[in-house]
Amino acid sequence: MEGPVKYKIVSFDGSDEREVHVDFKDDFQKLSLDKQATQFAEHIDSLKSQAANLPDESQERQGIDFVLEFLEELAPRIQAGELPLNETVIVKVMEQPPLKQLISKLEIN
């Protein structure tokens, strides 16, 4: 995925648990705070455009939506310079319980 960050998905043997490890690219870390904020916002906008062109139920769309949710939480911290960009950010992926998955797929007519 292009942009200011690198993603790595980590799975654990014998477990359904997964983590997404996010590192900021060196070039991004060297930018001024204003340029970091601009580039980060442009990356989010680009992902939104990509997601809009995908079917809602596709795995790629769901992956992009997950990343967008996370990046939108980080955006204000990037803009304020509050995040140490030389450290890995770890996000634990939580699976929905089976009952919640079933309910979320129901359609009410």
Residue 85 has pLDDT above 90, yes or no: yes
CA distance 30 to 1: 20
Q: What is the pLDDT of residues 5-25, one digit of tens each?
A: 998 988 888 777 888 899 999
User: What is the predicted pLDDT for the residue at 96?
Assistant: 54
Cα distances (angstroms) measured from residue 76 to each of 5, 41, 79: 16, 10, 5
47, 67 Cβ separation under 8 angstroms: yes
What's the mean pLDDT when you consider all of the chain?
Answer: 85
Residue 97 has pLDDT above 60, yes or no: no
- The token duo for 91 is 């996000």
Residue 98 has pLDDT above 80, yes or no: no
Q: What is the pTM for the complete model shown?
A: 0.78
13, 45 Cβ separation under 8 angstroms: no
